Amino acid sequence: MPTRTTAAVYIGTVSVFFLFIMAQRFFGDASYAIIGPYIAEVWPNRLRASGMGFSYGIGNPGKIIGPLGLALIVGSSDYVSPKVVPSALFPALLFLAFWYAQVALMFLLVGFETKGRSIEEINRTLDTPAGVALDPVCLLAQ
């Protein structure tokens, strides 16, 4: 039976694959320091606690979809302890990149900028019914 070889790319003695994983972990984990406070800002006061719970809870299916999807992609029938072959790494990383892209798309389509705005200003904007313009002069007079 012929042996199968895989090409590995190195910069000096450091694996490029390892460098990419380190970059993903750095930027991926750093995003959580931003997402938590952002999610708290985008819910109006009356819904903030429920909204935060909903936001964190809606992510829980990913704890099932992620490992199950990866096990299916690598072609393993053992979902608890799948054995990974090198040829399955790239499709598995594409699977993870797909979900990161979905999150980025949601932030682009649904998210709004909170930088430089107080929590009261954001809350006032969120509590205003759609189609009602806020008059800044009237707001200052109150």
pLDDT digits (tens, 9 = 90+) for 94-116: 888 898 899 889 889 988 888 89
Q: What distance in Å separates the CA atoms of residue 28 and residue 103, rounded to the nearest whole number? A: 12
Q: Which residue type occupies 96? A: L
| Average pLDDT over every residue of 90-96 | 85
Alpha carbons within 13 angstroms on the beta-carbon side of residue 6 total: 10
Is the pTM higher than 0.85? The answer reads no
In the beta sheet, which residues pair with residue 15? 10
Q: At what angle do helices 62-73 and 89-110 cross, to 10 degrees?
A: 150
Among 7-16, 33-42, 101-110, the range scoring the smallest mean pLDDT is 7-16
pLDDT at 105: 93
Q: Report, as an integer, the average pLDDT of 110-133.
A: 83
Q: Please give the torsion angle defined by the CA atoms of residues 112, 115, 121 and 123, in that order, rounded to the nearest 10 degrees.
A: 50
Percent of the chain with pLDDT over 90: 6
Please give the average per-residue pLDDT across 52-67, as a whole number. 86
The residue-averaged pLDDT of 34-59 equals 87
Give the length of the chain: 142
Rounded Cα–Cα distance for residues 67 and 74 (Å): 11
In sign, the C-alpha dihedral spanning 49, 52, 56, 59 is: positive
pLDDT at residue 139 is higher than 60? no
Of the candidates 41, 45, 48, the residue with the CA atom closest to the CA atom of residue 118: 41
Mean pLDDT of the chain: 79
